[in-house]
Amino acid sequence: MSRQFLPEWHRQWGILLAWPHEETDWLDNLAEAQACYIELAHAITRFEHVLIICLSEGHQVAIRSALGGRGVDLTRVHFETMQYDDTWARDFGFITVFEQGKPLLLDFKFNAWGGKFESSADDQINQNLFARALFKHNTFEVQPWVLEGGSIETDGLGTLLTTEYCLLNPNRNPDLSRSDIEAKLGAALGVERILWLSRGSLEGDDTDAHIDTLARFVDEQTIVYMRCSDVTDSHFDELQAMESELQLMRQPNGQPYRLVPIDMPVMIESDGRRLGASYVNFLLLNGAVLLPVYGDAEADEQAIEAMSKACPDRAIVPINCRALIEQNGSLHCITMQIPEEVASRES
């Protein structure tokens, strides 16, 4: 491979966050969302750095104060000030590949999951970041087609896992065929084979079935996936069919993947609508997994046990993400990892 798409378990410098504020969709539950972000930043800084995008110097001061009050290690917290529409860093954040042993930061077009929301400022975030001291020593590349980080998973060995519902949706790249998209993924990311899921989706999901809510690599041989065991649940048929597809998939060496299921959360509703809660929307850190939980003690504990089985060498750190799913996303959706080689040591 001339390029290597880095897996999430590649050694990280830190995690990118965009802090919720009154001009985002978080306005109706801003205090709860910010409390979740504070807990998330506290957890991240136990293991690595966090880079926070904020609106202004005053906004930065307020965030720093809130983090300090929680006991966050502020020496591991970094800020960049710029305009942004919303906070879904997984999908507007740059995607890192290695080319000839050096990081290459890819800036894909972001259109807010098919034009569902305003995204012009979010689509400029990477170009703004690339000009800042933390990143400007890197090589960058603009990819003028739509791709969101939450829609793709890799084993780091040239395999990409994704969904047809999302990548083949005409609201992203209407002029590209399946073969066109496969070719572009190969050229941009260096992937040599693509595993397509044709089934699997969640109610309350704006992303058109992002893979990071459904099935995730945690190492080269292991996929953690969402399972529905309740035959009365509206997700049962789709997730059973997805499970069958995963069982038929093979590693590059021809062996089946080690599959670790996590039963989906008990149904959570708000104002009469079902929220897209997923335990699979976890984040891998250096030596840890941040696992979204939703306030159901029994279901949350079962998810923690499953993740401990999948990642026995990592600390499992639960983060209550009930506030996040009010806006149809969760923990992985609001984060993007920054590989160790990318951040400047002088910043």
Residue with tokens 């897996």: 7
Of 54, 166, 321, 333, which one is the catalytic site residue? 333
Structure tokens at 48: 């690595």
Count Cβ atoms within 10 A of the Cβ of residue 302 and give its class: 0-12 exposed, 13-18 middle, 19 or more buried. Answer: middle
CB atoms within 10 A of CB 320: 17
Q: How many residues does the chain have?
A: 347
The position carrying tokens 């499953």 is 306
319-to-38, 83, 182 alpha-carbon distances in Å = 10, 27, 35
Question: What Rg, from alpha-carbon coordinates, does the chain have?
Answer: 19
* CA gap 61, 86 in Å, rounded: 20
Of 6, 218, 219, 217, nearest in space to 102 by CA = 6
Beta strands in the chain (DSSP E): 3-5, 12-18, 49-54, 77-81, 95-99, 102-109, 139-146, 153-154, 159-163, 193-197, 215-217, 222-227, 258-263, 269-270, 273-274, 283-285, 288-293, 315-320, 336-339
Active-site residue flag, 333: yes
Cα(71)–Cα(82) distance, rounded to whole angstroms? 26
Helix (H, G, I), strand (E, B) or coil at 209: coil
Check: CB of residue 85 under 8 Å from CB of residue 57: no
DSSP strands (E only) in 137-275 = 139-146, 153-154, 159-163, 193-197, 215-217, 222-227, 258-263, 269-270, 273-274
Phi, psi of 28 (to 5 degrees): -70, -25
Q: What single letter denotes the amino acid at residue 129?
A: L
**Which positions are catalytic?**
333
